[in-house]
Amino acid sequence: MTVIRLADLIRDRGPAVVLTGAGISTESGIPDFRSPTGIWARYDPQEYATIEAFRADPVKVWSFYALRFRALTEAEPNAGHLALAELERTGHVSTVVTQNIDLLHERAGSRDVVEVHGSIRTSTCPGCGARYGIDEVLRLLERESAPGCRECGAVLKPDVIFFGELMPEAAIDRAYELARSTRLLLVVGSGLEVWPVSQLPEETRREGGVVAIVNRGPTTFDDRAVVKIDGGAGETLTALVREVAS
Ligand SMILES: [Zn+2]
């Protein structure tokens, strides 16, 4: 049983650094934007997710982000998120590095979360730099189609990383540092196709750590992982919690 092998690894080499992607949130009803039925099949990323598109027409981009903010805040953490929070409480996981912007790790109870693609937690005014929390942005969205800054009137930008935008440096640096220093990197729900997470498993391996993967479908690191479980995050991580406790 590979879950047993994974539990052995986490006991021997833990606490693990966990790397999560869209695949952990699909069980909360949040579509993976890379899947053929994902949101980007309906919304062309060139028109809605590039920094150029936002600068050219922020109101149009918010017509998409308003839907997304609502969908993400109405979603609930699933068994996979809860299992990772539990593994952190029991000392088997140190940190979750995530590509997801949905805040579901935090809402599930994970305390140390590194968000390499930003998140919907805040939005910032490109005009004056004022920062708005998500509750305020959601309130503004009830009244207007694109949230405007109360100080200067400019349309706010969600603090998620748009295509063509620089990644948050502090989060990226921390993710690399964690990958290099951990003895076990556990990848969950990511095909490891997108920078920077695509590079992190090799960083771990180069420094003598090992990589385990839980993902439906292939990833770019399968041939170098010591454990690969082709399965859902919720089911697999729930079984892992039980196994490490036994
Ligand atoms: Zn402003």
Quote the ligand 1 centre to 52 CA distance (angstroms): 19
pLDDT in tens, 30-49: 877 666 566 667 777 778 88
Per the DSSP assignment, residues forming a β-bridge with 214 are 188, 229
Query: How far apart are the C-alpha atoms of 204 and 181, rounded to whole Å?
Result: 7
Residue 38 pLDDT: 64
103 against 1, higher pLDDT? 103
Residue 148 has pLDDT above 90, yes or no: yes
pLDDT at 39: 67
CA dist 243 and 10 (Å) reads 10
Q: What is the pLDDT of residue 170?
A: 95
Q: Which tens digits make up the pLDDT trace of 79-136?
A: 999 999 999 999 999 999 999 999 999 999 999 999 999 999 999 999 999 999 999 9
Sequence letter at residue 177: E
Q: How far is the CA of 149 from the centre of ligand 1 (A)?
A: 5
Q: What local confidence, expressed as pLDDT, does residue 35 receive?
A: 61
CA of 131 to the centre of ligand 1 (A): 8
pLDDT in tens, 192-213: 998 888 999 999 999 999 999 9
- Distance, CA 204 to ligand 1 centroid (Å)? 41
CA distance linking residue 213 with residue 229, whole number of Å: 6
Give the integer Cα–Cα distance in Å for 194 and 182: 21
- Write down the pLDDT at residue 80: 98
Contact 141, 66 (CB under 8 A): yes
Residue 49 confidence (pLDDT): 86
Q: What is the pLDDT of residue 166?
A: 87
What positions carry a catalytic annotation? 117
Query: Can you give the pLDDT at residue 45?
Result: 75
231 pLDDT tier (thresholds 50, 70, 90): very high
Residue 159 Cα, ligand 1 centroid: separation in angstroms? 14
CA 172 to each of CA 155, 175, 200: distance values in angstroms, whole numbers, following the listed order: 27, 5, 10
**Pair 147, 123: CB distance under 8 Å:** yes
Q: Supply the pLDDT for residue 246.
A: 85
Average pLDDT of the chain? Answer: 94
What's the confidence (pLDDT) of residue 31?
75
Q: What per-residue confidence (pLDDT) applies to 13?
A: 97
What is the pLDDT at residue 1? 66
For residue 174, report the distance from its CA to the centre of ligand 1, in Å.
30
Instruction: Give pLDDT, residue 135.
Output: 96
pLDDT value of position 194: 86
1-5, 111-115, 135-139: least confidently modelled range: 1-5
Which residues are close to ligand 1, an ion, with C-beta < 5 A?
125, 127-128, 130, 149, 151-152, 154
